[in-house]
Amino acid sequence: MHTAPLRRVTATLTALLTTTVAAAAATLALATTPARAAVDEPPRPAFYEAPAVLPSGNGVVIRSEPMTFLLDPLDATSLVRNAQRVLYTTTNRRGTAIAASGTVLVPRSPWIGTGSRPVIGYAPGTQGMADRCAPSRQFSEGIEYEGVGIEGLLLRGYAVAMPDYEGLGTAGIHTYMDRVSQGRATLDVVRAAQRLSGTGLTTTSPVGLMGYSQGGGAAASAVELAPTYAPDLRVRGAVVGAVPADLAKVATNLDGGLFSAFAFFALRGLAASHDVDLTPYLNAAGRAAMDGVEQDCVFDLLDNAFVRSSTLSADGRPMSELMTREPFAAIIASQRIGTIRPRVPVLVTHSALDDTIPYGVGRAMARSWCAAGANVRFSTNVAPLHVGGMAPHLAEALPFFEARFAGLPQVGNCWAL
């Protein structure tokens, strides 16, 4: 039923969406909007509606349902024995218990490694702001570009748990690129996967963390937070690529460019998580733009391409200037990744030719972890642009996880940084 043209479309979207991942990450550095949605959200499937009272604890399964999993338009469902959509509990940056949605995939192939089947907490890249953009919905439509990275993990025999993140799929504004919210949602979807019946996973299943660009930021945050937020998880290592670790240094790449829309995603996301009203800083066109992107996915980037933030601000100055003033300066500083030492081996990948997230940002994060005594291997590649950097990232992840789950040590290269 799925045609070759559709397959080519998906391939194109894969490249396009991956690029936007970092774009959005960069803009995040800009700043704020009301914590309450400015526009009415279209009705979402009943599955995504949280109960009035949430069960206590993080990573508790509220409900689950079987889902159609289309890895690609050719329908590679045969790779998956158990594909489920989950609604689970997590805690946002402000310490509030919330419901988040996600996807749990268990491959048909048996686990032939040592011990029990591992589960990878796979943090997705930029999806958009609208609920319809959630990966747990897009997988069933065969248009989720992260399927490219997931395919190799499933073929290796790993289970995969992917969060939709706070407010993506569920009620409220998606707190796009909020370090704490995304890291916690990633850890808690792994907990939910381990507790989900019929998967064969248990609370003793070994865990890996992985993500690229926005997902790289979420996975990097998760590996930093794991010892204190989720000490029960047996995390063995993490692979993070093109991490937007220092948002202030990434933001300037977006203003007035093709990915201006993702700057707006970031403005709304950080504002929502920090409960700051952006309205005083915007003119009428800016307020309309902020409202409009609430219902956008990455497919809609052309709607706001090449729009300069100075044309949307109340005083005619670029929004990047807000980063130097409070409360924005403190918000951006709180998003810095690299300040908490990971307790497990981490592989950091980054293309020296990345045009969206500067190579120096990823290298500086790795150096900061090294200085704190972490076991880090920094892998430089020369794949073209941000999109190209994802290919070596995915290729290096498989041998990394194979070694970690086999109990082999990582030989770091902090000495080279």
Q: Which residue has the tokens 């109340």?
A: 314
Q: What is the mean pLDDT of residues 384-404?
A: 95
Question: pLDDT value at position 297?
Answer: 84
pLDDT exceeds 90 at position 217: yes
DSSP string, 378-411: EEEE--SHHHHTHHHHHHHHHHHHHHHHTTPPP-
On the question of pLDDT at 8 being above 70, the answer is no
The predicted pLDDT at position 31 comes to: 31
pLDDT band at 247 (very low <50, low <70, confident <90, very high): confident
Concatenate the DSSP letters of all residues of 57-76 into one string: SSS-EEEEEE----SSTT--
Q: Considering the chain, what is the average pLDDT of its residues?
A: 85
Mean pLDDT computed over 359-367: 97
Burial 401-415 (b: 16+ CB within 10 A, else e): bebbbeeeebebebe
* CA distances, 108 to each of 29, 134, 167, 273 (Å): 42, 24, 31, 39
Cut 0.85: pTM above it: yes
Q: How many CA atoms lie less than 13 Å away from 415 in the CB half-sphere?
A: 3
- % of the chain surpassing 70 pLDDT: 88
Give residue 195's pLDDT band: very low, low, confident or very high (50, 70, 90): very high
CA distances from 397 to 295, 321, 402, 403 (A): 33, 38, 9, 10
Residue 341 — very low, low, confident or very high, per pLDDT cuts 50/70/90?
A: very high
How would you list the strands of the sheet with 234-241, edge to edge? 61-66, 80-91, 97-107, 159-163, 119-123, 206-212, 234-241, 346-351, 376-381
pLDDT band at 249; cut points 50, 70, 90 = confident
Nearest Cα neighbor of 255 from 29, 21, 9, 18 is 29
Q: Which of 240-249, 269-278, 330-339, 368-377 has the highest mean pLDDT?
A: 368-377
Q: How far apart are CA 27 and CA 239, in angstroms?
A: 23
Taking residues 25-44, report their average pLDDT: 48
**Is the CB of residue 238 less than 8 Å from the CB of residue 219?**
yes
Q: What pLDDT score does 75 carry?
A: 56
Between 290 and 170, the higher pLDDT residue = 170
Question: Is the model's pLDDT at 307 over the cut of 70?
Answer: yes
Q: Among 233-237, 294-298, 356-360, which is the least confidently predicted range?
A: 294-298
Q: What does the alpha-carbon distance between residue 106 and residue 114 come to, in Å, rounded to a whole number?
A: 17
Task: Identify the pLDDT of residue 272.
Answer: 87
Domains of the chain, start order: 4-247+333-416 (3.40.50.1820)
> Using an 8 Å Cβ cutoff, are 233 and 261 in contact?
no
> Is a pLDDT exceeding 70 seen at residue 213?
yes
Q: How far, in Å, CA of 22 to CA of 253, rounded?
A: 10
**Residue 8: CB partners within 8 Å, gap ≥ 6?**
none
**Whether pLDDT at 74 is above 60:** no
Which stretch of DSSP H or E encloses residue 11? helix 4-27
Give one DSSP letter per residue of 84-143, joined into a string.
EEEEEEEE-TTS-EEEEEEEEEEESSPP-SSSSPPEEEEE----BSSGGG-HHHHGGGT-
- Give the pLDDT band of residue 27 (cuts 50, 70, 90): very low
Length of the chain: 417
**Location of structure tokens 């924005």:** 328
Q: Tell me: pLDDT of 38 over 80.
A: no
- For 52-61, what is the mean pLDDT? 97
Q: Quote the pLDDT of residue 21.
A: 35
Q: For residue 73, what pLDDT is reported?
A: 55
